[in-house]
C-alpha cells in the first residue's frame, strides 16, 4: 500500500502545540515563539514541530536569520515531563535529533533567553549559533532531580561549551546558574557565543 508521505509531513505542523511562528519578510527574520503560559513548557509533540519549522525557515528565501524566543517575557522552564509516560514505546529516540535542528539549519539561529532557560529549552538554546540572555535569566539542566539525564544532547553540548568540570557541576547537582555567572564562565573557542543584555 502506498503511503502519503506529504500528508504525514504536513500533519506535523497541523495544530501547533504551544508554538507559533511568523516571517518578517521585510527584515528577513523568521520568528519561532514558545507560547504556552505561564512558563512556555515544551511538549513532546512540540519538539518535532520546532524541528519542522526550523527546516522550513532554512528553505524560505524570505528568511536570512531565525530567532527562537518565549512569549510574555519568559523563554521556557523546560519540557512537559509529566506527559512522558504517555509517549509511545521507543518514541523518545528522536528527541535529540529534533532539538539539534538549529545546528542543521543553513541560516544563523539566535536564541533569546529571558527569565528561565531550563531542561530541554536550555538544550535547544545550546544548539543555536548565538544565545542572548537577560541579566535575570536562570540556566539549568535539572533532570537529575527527576532521576533522569539531559536526554536531548545537553550533556554533550554543555561540556563542549563550558568544560567538563562545570558541566558536571550543572548536571550532577541540578544547580541553577544565574546568567551573569554563566557569562563569566565564557565559552571555548569552538563554541557559539552567549551575550548579556539588560532586561529593560
Q: Say how far apart CA 25 and CA 3 lie, in whole Å.
A: 35
23 close to 62: Cβ distance less than 8 angstroms: yes
User: Would you state the pLDDT for residue 74?
Assistant: 96
- Domains within the chain, CATH numbers bracketed: 5-83+93-194 (3.90.226.10)
User: Would you state the pLDDT for residue 35?
Assistant: 97
Active site residues: 123, 143
Q: Could you list the pLDDT tens digit for every one of the 200 residues in the chain?
A: 667 878 887 888 889 999 999 999 999 999 999 999 999 999 988 999 999 999 999 999 999 999 999 999 999 998 876 655 566 666 566 678 899 999 999 999 999 999 999 989 999 999 999 999 999 999 988 776 666 666 676 667 887 888 788 877 887 777 888 888 888 886 433 344 555 555 43
Q: Helix (H, G, I), strand (E, B), or coil: what is residue 162? A: helix
pTM: 0.83
Comparing CA positions, the residue from 36, 61, 39, 48 lying closest to residue 12 is 48
Residue 104, all three cell numbers:
542543521
Q: Say how far apart CA 184 and CA 194 lie, in whole Å.
A: 10
E strands in 8-102 = 19-24, 29-34, 65-70
User: Would you state the pLDDT for residue 189?
Assistant: 36
DSSP symbol at 106: S
Amino acid at each position: 500500500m502506498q503511503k502519503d508521505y506529504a500528508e504525514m509531513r504536513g500533519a506535523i505542523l497541523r495544530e501547533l502545540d504551544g508554538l507559533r511562528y511568523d516571517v518578517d519578510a521585510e527584515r528577513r527574520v523568521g520568528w519561532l515563539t514558545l507560547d504556552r503560559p505561564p512558563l512556555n513548557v515544551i511538549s513532546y509533540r512540540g519538539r518535532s514541530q520546532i524541528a519542522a519549522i526550523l527546516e522550513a525557515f532554512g528553505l524560505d528565501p524570505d528568511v536570512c536569520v531565525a530567532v527562537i524566543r518565549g512569549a510574555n517575557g519568559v523563554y521556557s522552564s523546560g519540557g512537559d515531563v509529566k506527559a512522558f509516560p504517555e509517549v509511545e514505546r521507543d518514541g523518545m529516540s528522536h528527541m535529540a535529533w529534533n532539538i539539534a535542528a538549529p545546528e542543521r539549519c543553513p541560516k544563523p539561529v539566535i536564541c533569546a533567553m529571558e527569565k528561565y532557560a531550563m531542561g530541554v529549552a536550555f538544550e535547544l538554546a545550546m544548539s543555536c549559533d548565538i544565545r542572548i540572555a537577560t541579566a535575570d535569566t536562570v540556566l539549568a539542566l535539572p533532570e537529575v532531580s527527576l532521576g533522569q539525564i539531559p536526554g536531548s544532547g545537553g550533556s554533550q553540548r554543555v561540556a563542549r561549551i563550558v568544560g567538563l568540570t562545570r558541566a558536571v557541576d550543572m548536571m550532577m547537582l541540578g544547580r541553577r546558574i544565574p546568567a551573569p555567572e554563566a557569562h563569566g564562565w565564557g565559552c571555548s573557542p569552538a563554541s557559539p557565543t552567549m551575550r548579556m543584555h539588560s532586561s529593560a
